[in-house]
Amino acid sequence: MPVMHFRIQWPDGDEANCYSPSLVIGDFFKPGEAYQLDDFVTRSRQALNIASERVREKYGFACSAAMDQLAQIEHDAERFRDQPDATVKVIEFS
């Protein structure tokens, strides 16, 4: 399966490299766009769950790396829950 990495910038300026086992991330995000925090987490959850299911369909088991990435995104997002205008920018795909 083709994998996709996507680089994001958190509201505090920190950047992170994220992983998806599928190109489906491109259906949910556009490089250069900033997303409200909750929207970003929701889109990430949807995209990474779809990606994991695509792995399950092809190989017979879910993608633990996709679920680990989602858990990391959800964990990191918690730091900004008290900031009502917090956004996450999708920098690029690779």
**pLDDT for residue 1 is more than 80:** no
User: For the chain, what are the domain ranges?
Assistant: 4-93
Chain segment 18-75, per-residue pLDDT in tens: 999 999 999 999 999 999 999 999 999 999 999 999 999 999 999 999 999 999 999 9
CA atoms within 13 A on the CB side of 59: 11
**pLDDT for residue 92 is more than 90:** yes
Cβ 31 vs Cβ 85: under 8 Å: no
Q: How big is the chain by its Cα radius of gyration, in Å?
A: 13
H or E element that contains 88: strand 87-93
